[in-house]
Structures are given as structure tokens and as C-alpha cells.
Structure 1
Amino acid sequence: MTTYTLPSRGASWAGIKGRLAELQSLDWSHRDGRLPLHCYYANDDVSQVAAEAYAMFASTNALAPVAFPSTRQMEQEVVAMALGLLHGPSGSAGCMTSGGTESIILAVKAARDFAAATRPRKQPNIVLPRSVHPAFDKAAHLLGLTVRRTALQPGYRCDVAALEAAMDEDTILLVASAPSLPYGLVDPIAEVGQLALRTGTWLHVDSCIGGMLAPFVAKLGYPVPPFDFAVPGVRSMSADLHKFGYSAKGASLVLYRDEADLDYQYCRFDAWPKGDYFTPTLAGTRSGGTIASAWAVMHFLGEEGYLATTARLMRLRDHYIAGFRALGLEVLGPPDLAVVTVTAPQANIFSIADDMRERGWYMSLVAEPPAIQQTVNLVHEQVAERYFDDLAAAVQQGAARAAAGIEAHDARAVVTY
């Protein structure tokens, strides 16, 4: 561990700011278009709104809505707007969280506690496709559940028959993705919903990447498989606001078809001197900054703004798909939204990624099958042509390496997200 101590004397803000700039220089820029994931951009005005709204409410605490009623009102309005986009019926509800992982943990907790209250199991388990986010395994570890991951269809979507075969009387939760992170593909959620209804099992749809994008993609006329509360059987959802909702990090949503289910995620405690203590999420203190940022961006863009941004985004996505295919690369899917995963049938894709990295591009890798990945957002408009010029050279170099018998690294050594 690095040894570091508190300075004996305070420094000037100018000096501190300079040091912060030095530290920031170590990071990949989220604005030059060379990051294929992690950051999401609509335009400069949206980024400014997100940052200024955050700063205005950074010191408020959503743990105390009586002291800061603004945070409760904004959170309720953000949840209501999201439920409107995701076909939440009358009586649906939800809350904001710090990110997709927290949203997922809370939904799994709600499903576990509902099962314990209604029909306790000896060894409760959750069943999900192999492509589902590892946050579910983290949730299961924390909550004392077993995870059963099932094989996928040849097209990398959930195999519903495999899900059903993995279920037993102790199964409390089914999971599907809209879309999955490795492949950018929406699972056949309508079919999973029918399985959930037939077996009386809770179904959660993880739409952290797609929840704030898919509704607008569908309104623009692109084919989007049914995935939200319009699907019978979908009982809860997770959707990130800090992805294609364009708010400041970290802001996510956990949503329920029925407000009664929200109660199972809550934590209440009164066996201490202070009295009743209530938290709706895992966190106690929650900065109102993230809530205000999401609220402000959603009002700033409105439906018209989101549609315009999404139209540009999907044109750019199609440009990337065409560019990959023109170089002889295979696009898995086709993608339903903006996550594009690409393999190289005639070359070593990791050799290509190595060469792209040498050319100054951050590369997102997929282990199974060996692939590279691009989560397209509007910051990539400015660099798309340069990207494909470099990629063409990298594909050529990758073929030369393969001919020379030079091996690339193992993706498992680097793939973390």
C-alpha cells in the first residue's frame, strides 16, 4: 500500500488545482473519443447542465427528506418520468441509487425478502443467462443466494429452455438483459416473462445500459425487442441514468411494477438509542447532487432532445457497423442498441486490439468469443473516420502477425468491464 500522510499545513487552491490537473493527465480523456465505454456524452450544453445541477445540490442529503424536501421531490419526479418511458403501470414505483450494481443488489434483496415472506426456500437460488452482469453474483454472495448461469443460444441471447431446465422449487428469481454488456443484444424477454408467469417466479430485467436509450430508439422506428414493463411477467428493472440518460455519475434507478415490492428493499431499524432509522437504499447518506443532475438533464433535453440525440447516435452506430463489416470483421447480433461487439473470423482480434492500443485507442475486449467492443456515443462522431483508418491498418497488421505466428495476450488477463 502507498504510504501517504496528511500535509502538516494546508496548501493553496491554486497549487491543489495544479496537482489535480497533473493527476487528471494520467486518465484517458472522456472527450477525445478514444474511450469505447465508461463515459457517455450528448453535447457540451448537457454536460454543463449535469455538472452545474450537481454542484447546486452537492451538499444536500437525500437521507433526510424532511430537511431536504427538494431531493425527495426531484427523485420522485425522475422515477415517474422513467416509469413513463418504460411503460410502468399504475401503482409502479422505484427509487434512485448510486449505480447499476446497487440497483441490482436492491432488486435481488427485494426478491429474496419477498420469497422469504411468502414461501421460504431451503436453498434459494437465482437463474440467469451466462451473459448477465456479474453484479448479480455479487448480490447473491452478499445475500446468501446461489447463482445458476445457463448457456446461451448460438446467437448469444438467452436460451429460455436452458433457463427453465436450471430452475427448481428453490428458484426465487429469473434475470434477463436489455441489452447484455458483452454482446449488446436484448434477451427474448417476452418469452422469459411467460416462463416467469407460468412458474410464479420474480423476473428482473437488467436494462442499465439500455433503459434510457431503448424507448427513444423504438420511437424512432428501429426494431427493439419488447423488454420493459409492457411485457407481462417483468416485475422489476434496473436502468442507469448516468449512461444514456446523460446525468452525472453515479445515478441509476431500481423500478418495480408494484409499489408493494419496493417495501422489500427497504431497511428499517429502531433497536438503538436514536430511534427509528430508515434507508430506502443500501447507502445512508446520498448526495442530492446526482438526483438534481438527472432531474435537470431530463428536463433540459425533454423527449424532443432525447429523440434528436438518439437519432444522431443510431446513425453513428450504423456507420460503425458498416465500417467494421467493410474491413471483414463480424458484428455480433446485429446489435439492438448502441453496444457493438466485433470478432475477426480470419485474424486474431486481440492482435488487432494490441495494435490499436499502440495507436492511442483504449480497447474494450470480450473473452467469449474473442472480440472487441464499442459502446457508441456522440463523442465518437469527431473521431470515427480516424478510428477506421487506424483500424484498417491494425487489421492488416494483425493478419501479418498471424502469418508470422505471433500470439496476442489472453483477454481474461485484462477484461474487467
Structure 2
Amino acid sequence: MKILIVGTGYVGTTTALVFCEKGHQVTGLDLDQEKIEKLQSGQLHFFEPGLPDLLKEHLQAGNLSFTTNSSAAIKQNDIIFICVGTPQGKDGNADLRYVKNVAEEIGKNLNAYKVIVDKSTVPVGTAGKVRDWIQQNKKKGVPFDVVSNPEFLREGSALRDALHPDRIVIGYSGAKSREMMRELYKDFRCPVVETTPKTAEMIKYAANSFLALKISFINELARLCDRLELEIDDISRGIGLDRRIGEAFLKAGIGYGGSCFPKDVNALLKTAESHHQSLSIMEAAVTVNKTQPEYFIRELETALGGLQDKTVAVLGLAFKPDTDDIRESPGLNVIHQLIKAGAKVKAHDPAVKSGSDAIFEQLATVAQCVTDSDAVILCTGWQQYEAIDWKEVRKRVRSPFIFDGKNVLNPDQIRQAGFNYYAIGKR
């Protein structure tokens, strides 16, 4: 099939490469000329393991190309995936301006029947809006269908998730679109949920919100474990082995972040509010997540006897390992609170190299970061931090305090290196 991917960000580029792997002819469309030129030359503009090699492979094979010519790209392809951003607006709702722009452009250039697939994360009812926006701009008599096909990719493991998904969710709007989407996904070996566009849109929000809920649940429980002097990791394992619960997303820490969970939970809450329905459990989950870094900082402040003029080394800026994404990063939240409390901050991250935040002007190597620090804080669970020679670090720090914001370090190893070890819900 000839497939057009509109939007060459994280989701769009991954989706394009996966369909190339399945033997389709794929075009990536974006209005950002610089981004398109980089991709066309084989350079990925974000950090994601596995994608750079695949990008070069399919460019060389000739089944992948990139363009900024929207008119030609829309006319020449049979299935059009909308993979543009839906950032959170000032009112908490998802901002659909980019989706609308794409839909209107599709309408203006619709020359034959096409399936329009909304892969962007959007509120319930957006497929209907996309249909209306296309309808308002297209020529009379040219048919099309709009399908909702949400993505369930995890940054850091996007390629594996896309090639071997847990499930594929497709919300159809017509028999012909059902036939084409079944043909498109025929080589994927996983359950396929066929439903309506509205239900597909809700499944995406419900999935992300439930995972965020699990994180906030274990984080709040970890606070209680601190008071009861219990080990939250033992409790996480004890309940996670129950197949009805599962072990994933039960690691206590400083909270969830990234481009999806915060935005999607808030969008679901706004949807509920607009329909006069309370989602009190999700509201509580948001509150826990917002206050978790504050709880962590209070523990740090108590241990150090205050933060004024203390030097703190922060290891990790990305919201999770194996990505350079700092959107809604709990680590940045921690840094801002440290600075507000009067501390001096030095930071390191293996993948994050730049950003608008002032802290990026002070990025250091791990050795530079920990030297003469009064405390070391782990804010991202990169494997290379777990492998650090902590005895060597002990020689460099001013004071022997380590605060594990991701509960991934080995407490015994840290203490044997001469540190005082602190974590959330761990003794």
C-alpha cells in the first residue's frame, strides 16, 4: 500500500518505519524543512534506540521518502495517517489546531477515495470533527473514511512496541476502511480490537490514565511505608505477582512525566468535566503526582539540615531512560524546587544535551557533576547510573548523601561505598 504519514515526530517517524518493515511504500510529510532534510539524509532528530539504523536502511531501499509538498503527497497516497502533536492547551484540553490544519489540507487536496487515520492522541469525538473539517474543504462527490487508530508506544522501546504490539485498536467508520485497515495490519500477530472511532479514542485515554493511576497509587503507598518503616519494593513485588494487578508501573519514585501521561490524564479530566461527570480517582492521582517531588525534596531538606547554599548533583533530566524527552520531567521539577530553596545544582544526562531551561547551561560529566556536592540525587533510571563506581564517587563528594528518586540503586552497595542512602518507601 502507499501510505502517507503526516507529522514526522516521535510517533510519525516510528509508524513510518514500521510500515516500511512490513513492505509498504511510505512517505513522511512535515512542514518543517530542516527536519525533513535531516530525515532524508538519514539523521533522526530525536533519541530513540533502533530507529536510526532502520531509517538509513529504508531510505537506501527506496521505500521511504520525506517531503514538504502536502498537495502532491495527499494526492499520491491511499492511506493518510495523522500523527501531529496535540499539546495541552491553557485550559487543560487537548489543542487540536494541528489536527484541524491537516484535516483541512487533506480536504483541499482530496482527489480520490482515501482512508484518513487519526493516530494522534485526541479527545473522544475528534474523528467526527476531522470528518467535518475534511468535508468542509473537499470537492463534492469525493468519498473518504475517517478511522481512529491510537498508538501505544513507550519512548525508549517504541520500535519493539510498534513491531510487536500488545494489541491494535481500530475504530472504523465504513466497510471499505475496515477492509483496507485489515489488509494493512494483516501481518501483525496480536489481538485486534475493532470498534467505533469514539470508543477507540476513549481506549487510548483510559489506558494512559490507568497506568498513571498505578504509578500514583504506589507512590502514595510508599509515603506510608516511610512512616511504617516498610520496604515498598517488597510490597510492589508482592502485589504485582497477582496476575490481576501485574508488576508493571509499580516502581515508587518521584512521579510520572513525559509527553503523554500528564497531558492525557488532564484531557480526560476536562472531557469528564465538560460532561458534568467527576473522575475523583484520577483527580487524586494527579494530586499525588504533583506533590511527589515536593515530598522527596522535604526528605532531602530534612536529611541535609536545609538546602540553602548546598550543592546538589542531579543525575538524569529525561523523564525516563532511553529517551531525550524532558517534557513534564519530574527531574526538572526537582531541580526547580532545589533552586527555589537556595541550593546550587549541577546536572548530567546521557541523552539530553540542550533545552530552554537555564540548567542546560550547566550540564556536566558525571564526575564533574558529583565533585564537591553535598548530595547526589538520581532522577532518571539510566542503567549507566546503576553501574557507577560509587566508591569512586564517594572520594569526590563533599557529603555522603545519595537520594534515589527512582528506587533503582542497590542500597547495600551504596552504603558499603560509604554513603547514607535515601529513597521513597525504602529503609
Q: TM-score, normalised by structure 1?
A: 0.34
Name the larger-Rg structure.
2
Return the structure number with greater relative CO, CA threshold 8 A, min gap 6.
1
Q: TM-score, normalised by structure 2?
A: 0.34
